[in-house]
Structure 1
Amino acid sequence: MALIKKKPKDSFTIMNELVLPNDTNTLNNLMGGRLLHWMDIAAGISAQKHCNRIVVTASVDNVSFHHPIKLGDVVTIEAQVSRAFNTSLEVRLDVWAENIPSGARVKSNDAYYTFVAVDQSGRTIPVPELSPETDEEQVLFDGALRRRQLRLILGGKMHPDDATELKALFFK
């Protein structure tokens, strides 16, 4: 596969779900596990659109729950590739909850998922590069390297002394 450069908008995905009784806990709030499942699907679609390949989830970073999502709310998940590395890519997710009758819409969650592109035999394969176009995309792109280094350190795959981008935050 020739490595080509793609733009973040090429991999932008919006997914909507309606919170039904089977999706909720005893407080009539969306269960966290159900939301993580939906987020994994949306992020996977975004990653596959970027790669045009099969992708598998490698990690999920710090899913922050800012606001409960209620029975009957419409959940909108926005997923976009923030950076591509050699065989992996990071996807940024924002989750919104909307109560249609009242018109209230709140940001409920955000997270970063990491995917790895694989061939039909499950071996890792290169992914296309990503070229940020806006200032916001550049901020996400730049931060992705620091987040990746932190993931690698926490996963025991990188020594902290080798995390130059991450160390630069603390030492000038």
Structure 2
Amino acid sequence: MKEKKASESRTVLTDIVLPPDTNYYGTIFGGNVMAYIDKVASIAAMRHARSMVVTASSDSLDFISPIQTGEAICLEGYVSYTSHTSMEVYVKVEAENLLTGERRLTATSYLTFVALDENRKPTPVPPVVPETEEEKYQYAGAQERHEQRQKRRQERKERQKLEALMKDQ
């Protein structure tokens, strides 16, 4: 399968934060940020795989600073790593003061998607090639994050087996 550049999956979304999007403090609801992240990451994964995808995990979402009413929320995501049928997508969230142009980092996230064929079964994805310094940085740590995901998955399966045994007793 022919490899693809990380930039081929790059997805950017910008929206303005309005009062209905915010909490009592005038900052965007975290759940709204999560929905934006999943949407951007889904598009990036579909661009890379050129197939349907499903979210397999959201490994981390680190909120760094709030986004205020009237600011723009700016998201950028791309496929940072691939395995056989899965893709790690990195999403960066920034706030932009639309009057000054000043931007600040507000959140980062890693999500994993699985590519699906027409029968909704996992299907292979092309390898990803990082080019920029940021892409190379994300790629360099991806194998370790992939191994941690696999370990958590195995531990979850073992817990489920144990819980099923205990339930049957």
Q: For this structure pair, what is the TM-score category when the shorter chain's length is used for normalisation?
A: 0.7 to 0.9
For residue 41 of structure 2, what is the aligned residue in structure 1? 43
Unaligned 5+ runs, structure 2: 157-169
Q: CA RMSD in A?
A: 1.5
Alignment map for 1:62-73 (pairs within 5 Å): 62-73=60-71
Percentage of pairs with the same residue: 37
Task: String of CA shifts for 1:1-49, please: whole Å, max 9, x gaps.
Answer: xx21100111111111111122111111100000000010001111111
**1:61, distance to aligned residue in structure 2 (A):** 1.7
> Following the alignment from structure 2 to structure 1, what is the Cα–Cα distance between the partners of residues 155 and 7?
31
Q: CA deviation at 1:51?
A: 0.6
Rounded Cα–Cα distance in structure 2 between residues aligned with 1:140 and 1:100: 29
| Residue 121 (structure 1) aligns with | 119
Q: Which segment is superposed worse, 13-22 or 134-143?
A: 134-143
Residue in 2 that maps onto 1:168: none
Question: Aligned runs of 1:1-16 on 2, under 5 Å?
Answer: 3-16=1-14
2:27–2:68 contact (8 Å) kept in structure 1: yes
Aligned to 2:164: none
More helix by share: 2
Give the aligned partner of residue 162 of structure 2.
none
Secondary structure, in 3 states, of the residue corresponding to 1:120? coil
Partner of 1:169: none
* Larger mean Cα displacement after TM superposition, 149-158 or 121-130: 149-158
Secondary structure at the aligned position of 2:154 is classed as coil
Matches within 5 A, 1:1-172: 3-156=1-154
SS in 1 for 2:76: strand
Give the number of the structure whose alpha-carbon radius of gyration is greater: 2
After TM superposition, give the deviation of residue 138 of structure 1 in Å: 2.5
How far apart in 2 are the matches of 1:93 and 1:26? 26
Provide the C-alpha distance between the structure 1 equivalents of 2:142 and 2:7, rounded to a whole number of angstroms: 17
2:37 partner amino acid: M
| 1:157 CA displacement | 5.8
